[in-house]
Amino acid sequence: MAAKEQVQDDEPEGDEDEKGGKDVKKKKKPKRESGPMKLVIVGAIALFVAVLGAQVAAPILTKMIAGDPNASKKAESAEGEGEQQLAAAETPPPPVDEKVDAKPTEPALYVPLDPPFVVSFGDEGGDTRFVQLTLQAMARSEKTIDAIKTHSPAIRNAFLFVISGHKVVDLETLKGKEQLRAEMLKAANEIMEKNIGKADAIEELYFTSLVIQ
């Protein structure tokens, strides 16, 4: 009998434990379901607040943006002017041309040294060759032109000696022609310096015809 009582006494305790365990499980279920529900509620509230804030802030932002429709253009214009001023400040001033204050150059004047020069040359084969040369002198004043005409005999004499000092073969090349022209210009200005005291009276000397036979 004692054994049966103990068994009966033990069974209720087991039942209570099982009941207690069931009660515990029932209490935990609501806790698991309440977490997601809270997140949904909080999210809904946050969305509502965001929408409400956007509706309230939209008119204010619109007024601020529409306050000065030309603001962007003015800003771009001011920025462009600032860049131009900065570029102007950084750009060095143009160099001063010293020739600006100089007197304007007089027009060129030409005078032919007629008649043409005819000079004979003997080559290595014993044959005689001829060079016919026509040229003009260029100066910048009527006074110099008149002086060239006046002293033309002395200039022509100096030219004949200069031409005779060259060879026909040399005069057939461009380099030889340029050398002859430079030497004749120098000789002519030496004559002018002796007579009018100006070493560069004749500015240029031009060959208008050169025939070699």
The reported pLDDT for the residue numbered 19 is 44
Among 89, 124, 142, identify where a domain stops: 89
pLDDT-derived band at 137 (thresholds 50, 70, 90) equals very high
Q: What is the pLDDT of residues 166-205, one digit of tens each?
A: 988 889 999 999 999 999 999 999 999 999 999 899 999 9
pLDDT-derived band at 128 (thresholds 50, 70, 90) equals confident
The reported pLDDT for the residue numbered 209 is 94
For 171, the 3-state DSSP assignment is: helix
* Co-location of 69 and 117 in the same domain: no
- Residue 192 in any domain: the answer is yes
SS3 content of the chain, % helix, strand, coil (to 5): 65, 15, 25
Contact 171, 177 (CB under 8 A): yes
Contact 166, 119 (CB under 8 A): no
* Total domains present in the chain: 2
- Residue 96 in any domain: the answer is no
- Residue 5 in any domain: the answer is no
* Co-location of 133 and 63 in the same domain: no
The reported pLDDT for the residue numbered 190 is 95
> Is 90 exceeded by the pLDDT of residue 40?
no
* Co-location of 114 and 158 in the same domain: yes
Looking at residue 106, its amino acid is E
What is the DSSP code (8-state) at residue 167? -
User: For 85-99, 117-131, 156-170, which range has the lowest pLDDT when averaged over its residues?
Assistant: 85-99
* Co-location of 81 and 123 in the same domain: no
Residue range of the domain that includes 113:
109-212
* Co-location of 134 and 40 in the same domain: no
- Residue 100 in any domain: the answer is no
Q: What is the CATH number of the domain that holds 156?
A: 3.30.479
* Co-location of 62 and 134 in the same domain: no
- Residue 195 in any domain: the answer is yes
Q: Is the pTM of this model over 0.75?
A: no
User: For 22-26, 81-85, 148-152, 167-171, which range has the lowest pLDDT when averaged over its residues?
Assistant: 22-26
pLDDT top residue among 40 and 64: 40
- Residue 117 in any domain: the answer is yes
Among 24, 55, 89, identify where a domain stops: 89
* Co-location of 74 and 117 in the same domain: no
* Co-location of 74 and 148 in the same domain: no
The reported pLDDT for the residue numbered 58 is 55
> Is 50 exceeded by the pLDDT of residue 1?
no
User: For 5-14, 31-40, 63-72, 98-107, which range has the lowest pLDDT when averaged over its residues?
Assistant: 5-14
- Residue 95 in any domain: the answer is no
Q: What is the pLDDT of residues 46-99, one digit of tens each?
A: 666 565 555 555 555 555 555 545 545 554 555 556 566 555 555 666 665 555
- Residue 1 in any domain: the answer is no
* Co-location of 202 and 114 in the same domain: yes
> Is 90 exceeded by the pLDDT of residue 147?
yes
How far apart are alpha carbons 64 and 2 in whole angstroms? 94
**Rounded average pLDDT over 28-51:** 60
* Co-location of 116 and 180 in the same domain: yes
* Co-location of 52 and 131 in the same domain: no
Nearest 5°: phi and psi at 212?
A: -120, 125
Tokens linked to 188: 């002519």
